[in-house]
């Protein structure tokens, strides 16, 4: 299987792997956290392993951090470019979400949002990498921040992309702290 066979949900699975402080939990737990089926997560891990983005053995999968860094920074924006839509209610993403919201002011423009019925913000919609992203991100701040950073790379202006790239590199290289 070639890396071109990756699906957008595989990027979400990779981001989730990077968000774990320790080894990944059982597949069923990871699937529940991402609102995916166990078979979807299993298939995603196999595709990620074939693309050499994940080290996989019989009991575990862990990210290949250097390859993940390169792919997230340089590949995702070309494989899965952002698709902007209409003004809608949703969940903040890109520069309007943590951690970039502390460094970038959106000015008078409507912020980018993932369309989400339970969202609290009105903004310009950006199609998330996968349809379950808003709910999964709402439950996991580390995942939320990484996916919002990816949206800044996929859709942002030069300054946003530069800040997002630095932050993604940092997160790919370091394990998050256990909570």
Q: Domain-by-domain residue ranges, the chain?
A: 3-78, 82-173
What's the whole-number mean pLDDT along residues 129-150?
A: 97
Cα 9 off chain centre by: 9
pLDDT number for residue 3: 46
pLDDT tens, 100-139? 999 998 778 899 999 999 999 999 999 999 999 999 999 9
Closest Cα partner for 65 from 98, 19, 97? 19
3-78 to CATH, choices 1.10.1370.30, 1.10.10.10, 2.40.50.140, 3.40.50.2300: 1.10.10.10
Read off φ and ψ for residue 127, nearest 5 degrees.
-65, 125
Give the E-state strand segments of the chain in sequence order: 54-56, 61-63, 84-92, 112-115, 121-126
Q: pLDDT confidence of 155, banded at 50, 70, 90?
A: very high
Closest Cα partner for 63 from 168, 167, 163? 168
Instruction: Give the chain's length.
Output: 179
Q: pLDDT confidence of 177, banded at 50, 70, 90?
A: low
Cα separation, 19 vs 84, in Å, equals: 26
Closest Cα partner for 20 from 57, 44, 54? 54
């Amino acid at each position: 299987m070639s890396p071109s066979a990756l699906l957008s949900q595989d990027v979400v699975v990779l981001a989730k792997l990077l968000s774990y402080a320790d080894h990944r939990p059982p597949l069923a737990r990871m699937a529940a956290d991402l609102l995916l089926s166990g078979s979807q997560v299993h298939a995603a891990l196999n595709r990620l392993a074939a693309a050499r983005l994940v080290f996989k053995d019989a009991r575990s999968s862990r990210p290949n951090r250097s390859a993940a860094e390169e792919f997230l920074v340089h590949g995702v924006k070309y494989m899965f470019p952002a698709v902007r839509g209409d003004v809608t209610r949703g969940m903040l993403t890109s520069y309007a979400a943590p951690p970039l919201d502390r460094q970038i002011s959106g000015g008078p423009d409507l912020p980018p949002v993932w369309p989400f019925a339970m969202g609290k913000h009105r903004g310009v919609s950006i199609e998330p990498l996968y349809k379950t992203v808003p709910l999964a991100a709402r439950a996991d701040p580390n995942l939320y921040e990484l996916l919002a950073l990816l949206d800044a790379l996929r859709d942002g202006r030069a300054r946003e992309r530069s800040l997002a790239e630095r932050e993604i590199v940092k997160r790919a290289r370091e394990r998050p702290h256990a909570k």
